[in-house]
C-alpha cells in the first residue's frame, strides 16, 4: 500500500510522518510512506488544512495529528 503525508513542513506534518512510520512498523505492514511537500500537488487532493494523510490515493484525514490507535485503525480500514 502507498501512504502519503501532505504537508509543507509544519511541526504537525513532521510528527504525522513519524507517527505513521511507527504505526506501520508496529502493525508490520508493507507500505511506502512518501512525504509530499509540493503545494500544487497537495492542492490536487483538495486538502485545506495540513497535514493531510492519503492512503492509496484517498484522503483519510486532514489538519489533525491522530492518536496511535486511531492512526492504526485508519491504516487498517483503508488498506
44 is a contact residue toward other proteins (CB under 8 A) = yes
Around Cβ 11, how many Cβ atoms within 10 Å? 10
- For other proteins, the closer CB: 25 or 44: 44
Q: Which residues are catalytic?
A: 10, 13
Residue whose C-alpha cell is 485508519: 74
Among 1, 2, 8, 26, the residue binding other proteins under the rule CB under 8 A is 8
Decide if residue 78 touches other proteins (CB under 8 A).
no
Q: Can you tell me the distance from the alpha carbon of 25 to that of 30, in angstroms, rounded to the nearest whole number?
A: 9
In angstroms and rounded to an integer, the radius of gyration of the C-alpha atoms of the chain is 11
Binding residues for other proteins (CB under 8 A): 8, 10-13, 39-40, 42-50, 59-63, 65
Amino acid at each position: 500500500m502507498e501512504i502519503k503525508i501532505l504537508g509543507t513542513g509544519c511541526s504537525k506534518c513532521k510528527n504525522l510522518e513519524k507517527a505513521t512510520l511507527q504505526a506501520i512498523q508496529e502493525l508490520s505492514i508493507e507500505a511506502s510512506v512518501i512525504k509530499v511537500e509540493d503545494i500544487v500537488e497537495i492542492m490536487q487532493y483538495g486538502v485545506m488544512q495540513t497535514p493531510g494523510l492519503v492512503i492509496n490515493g484517498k484522503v483519510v484525514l486532514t489538519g489533525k495529528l491522530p492518536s496511535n490507535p486511531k492512526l492504526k485503525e485508519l491504516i487498517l480500514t483503508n488498506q
